[in-house]
């Protein structure tokens, strides 16, 4: 897919406040607070008409890049609920915990790993300077129960990380799909965590969606594949963002590695929240398949068809978030551009055209001229079969362009009086506001070339 044009940033380029994105998302139907009429639920959100289009595009693009374009990668879709033993084997029951402290004075609660070091040493609240209480440990797994008869119900968990299904289905995939090591299994799916400090909008939620590649390799090739996927995933994110200097790698220190990881790098993106994880590249080694073999009593080793060597494959994991991608792309794309004529600034979402929720808006110059309206509606009907198109005849053309800029629509097609004479329309591009005239018959190919990934 073509890369988003780089938008050079300097140290003075301001970061977009999260509140602006929250307001835009609510106003234009991207994201709503969940159960809002009941006062909402912290860390849980719903996606509106434009949000669901953007999410679907983000998911499809990941799937296309990771599964469709690789002969040695297949996809699965596992269930959210699994046998409870899965979470003992995975180490989550024991290790998936946050350590928290409360301030005796202001009663605020903090994750110890988010506190500045000096506050931990001095046992001092970073907000009010008050004394901190003894740390407490909370498990993040969300419990649920299967069955209806009281006393016979089985306690289990909503999955705390989506990737576990991939290990559970590893042997089934090997036996049913003719895959051979090195190969990968991908999945996109919901995960649930009782985050003690959810916040920053979609950044840290309690219900969210992850995408995972688990790439199975021979131990002797681990380093090579780890480096390969690290670079490949970095390039993938780079291709989607305008602010190319706001993406980097950060290696995990020994004290912050997850219980399953021997080595890990985060791809981080810088926003108003500072540098934050976007996707993790984890060296999971043989942790998962060995543990599930041990806990289930089933042999999950792999036999090389050529050498007949039998071994537990090692795993490179690339694990990112659909919601975090959604948020980061909005923060990256949002811009308020001064208007040279002195009117209100132009708000524009410079989203990659292939990801934009609406690809084209079809606009008759005037709504009281029947021929213009009929021609525009016919064009819209044709385009609608190929891409998400919106017909709009409300307000003057300038306001309609602005409405589309604000939701990131890359192209607006205007039907004017010349159209009725020579069957040409104006195509206006979002980022540079340039306009070209195109014959109606050439319009579908012109747009498709620019709004699809290939």
Q: How far is CA 330 from the centre of its chain?
A: 11
Do residues 55 and 357 touch, judged by C-beta distance below 8 A? no
Q: From the CB of 132, what's the least distance to ligand GAP, in Å?
A: 24
From the list 246, 270, 324, 430, which residue makes contact with ligand GAP (rule: CB under 6 A)?
A: 324
- Is residue 406 helix, strand or coil? helix
Give 130's DSSP letter: P
Enter the tokens of residue 187. 């999945």
Residue of minimal CB distance from ligand GAP? 321
Q: Which of 53, 195, 288, 332: binder of ligand GAP (CB under 6 A)?
A: 195
| Residue with Cβ nearer ligand GAP (213 or 425) | 213
In terms of CB distance, is 119 or 290 closer to ligand GAP?
290
Q: What residues from 196 to 235 belong to the interface with ligand GAP (CB under 6 A)? A: 204-205, 208, 210, 212
Shortest reach from residue 146's CB to ligand GAP, in Å: 23
What is the three-class DSSP state of 433?
A: coil
What would you report as the CA-atom Rg of the chain, rounded to the nearest whole angstrom?
25
Which residues on neighbouring strands pair with residue 185, listed in sequence order? Answer: 74, 214
Nearer to ligand GAP, 91 or 130 (CB): 91
Q: Which of 90, 187, 293, 319 binds ligand GAP (CB under 6 A)?
A: 319
DSSP-assigned beta bridge partners for residue 426: 414, 437
**If binding is defined by CB under 6 A, does position 320 make contact with ligand GAP?**
yes
Binding mask 339-378 for ligand GAP (x = CB under 6 A): ----------------------------------------
288 binds ligand GAP (CB under 6 A): no
Which tokens sit at 71?
Answer: 């002969």
User: Which range of residues in 82-90, 271-279, 350-358, 374-382 is near ligand GAP by CB under 6 A?
Assistant: 271-279
DSSP state letters, 158-176: E-SSTTHHHHHTHHHHHHH
Report the residue number, 193 or 292, with the smaller CB distance to ligand GAP.
193
Tell me, letter by letter, the H, E, C secondary structure of 181-231.
Answer: CCEEEEEEEEEECCCCCCECCCCECCEEEEEEEEEEECHHHHHHHHHHHHH
Burial of 449 from C-beta contacts in 10 A (0-12 / 13-18 / 19+): exposed
Among candidates 91, 201, 238, which has minimal Cα distance to 157?
91
By the rule CB under 6 A, 279 interacts with ligand GAP:
yes
Strands 207-217 and 310-311: unpaired
DSSP sequence for 360-372: EEEEES-TT-HHH
Cβ neighbours of residue 263 closer than 8 Å, sequence gap 6 or more: 226, 251, 252, 257, 282, 283
Q: Per CB under 6 A, does 390 bind ligand GAP?
A: no
Question: Which of 53, 98, 288, 323 touches ligand GAP (CB under 6 A)?
Answer: 323
Residue 239 Cβ vs ligand GAP, minimum distance, rounded to whole Å: 17
416 sits near ligand GAP (criterion: CB under 6 A): no
Q: How far is the CB of 199 from ligand GAP (least distance, A)?
A: 10
What residues between 126 and 165 interact with ligand GAP by CB under 6 A? Answer: 161, 163
Give the binding site for ligand GAP (CB under 6 A): 161, 163, 193, 195, 204-205, 208, 210, 212, 277-280, 317, 319-321, 323-324
């Amino acid at each position: 897919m073509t890369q988003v044009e780089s938008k050079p940033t300097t140290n003075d380029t301001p970061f977009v406040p999260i509140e602006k994105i929250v307001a835009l998302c609510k106003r234009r139907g991207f994201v709503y607070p969940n159960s809002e009429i009941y006062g909402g639920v912290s860390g849980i959100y719903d996606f509106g008409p434009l949000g669901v289009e953007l999410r679907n595009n983000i998911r499809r693009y990941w799937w296309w890049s990771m599964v469709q374009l690789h002969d040695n990668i297949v996809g699965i879709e596992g269930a959210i609920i699994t046998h409870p033993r899965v979470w003992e084997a995975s180490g989550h029951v024991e290790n998936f915990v946050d350590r928290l402290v409360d301030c005796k004075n202001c009663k605020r609660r903090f994750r110890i790993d988010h506190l500045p070091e000096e506050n931990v040493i001095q046992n001092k609240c970073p907000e009010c300077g008050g004394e901190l209480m003894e740390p407490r440990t909370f498990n993040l797994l969300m419990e649920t129960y299967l069955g209806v008869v009281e006393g016979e119900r089985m306690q289990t968990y909503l999955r705390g990380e989506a990737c576990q299904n991939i290990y559970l289905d590893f042997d089934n995939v090997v036996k049913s799909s003719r895959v051979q090591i090195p190969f990968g299994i991908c999945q996109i799916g919901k995960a649930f965590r009782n985050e003690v400090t959810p916040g920053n909008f979609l950044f840290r939620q309690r219900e969210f969606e992850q995408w995972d590649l688990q790439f199975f390799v021979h131990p002797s090739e681990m380093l090579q594949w780890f480096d390969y996927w690290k670079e490949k995933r970095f390039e993938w994110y780079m291709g989607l963002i305008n602010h190319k200097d706001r993406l980097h790698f950060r290696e995990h220190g020994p004290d912050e590695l997850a219980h399953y990881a021997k080595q890990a790098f985060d791809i981080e993106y810088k926003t108003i929240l500072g540098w934050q994880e976007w996707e993790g590249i984890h060296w999971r080694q043989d942790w998962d398949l060995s543990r599930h073999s041990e806990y289930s009593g089933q042999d999950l080793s792999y036999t090389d068809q050529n050498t007949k060597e039998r071994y537990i494959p090692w795993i490179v994991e690339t694990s990112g978030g659909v919601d975090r991608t959604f948020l980061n792309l909005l923060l990256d794309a949002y811009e308020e551009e001064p208007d040279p004529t002195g009117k209100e600034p132009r708000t524009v979402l410079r989203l990659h055209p292939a990801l934009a929720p609406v690809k084209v808006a079809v606009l008759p110059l005037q709504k009281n001229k029947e021929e213009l309206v009929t021609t525009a509606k016919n064009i819209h009907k044709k385009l609608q079969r190929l891409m998400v198109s919106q017909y709009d005849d409300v307000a003057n053309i300038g306001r309609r362009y602005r409405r589309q800029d604000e939701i990131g629509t890359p192209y607006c097609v205007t039907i004017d009086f010349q159209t009725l004479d020579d069957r040409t329309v104006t195509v206006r591009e979002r980022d540079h506001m340039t306009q070209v005239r195109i014959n109606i018959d050439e319009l579908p190919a012109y747009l498709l070339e620019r709004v699809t990934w290939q």
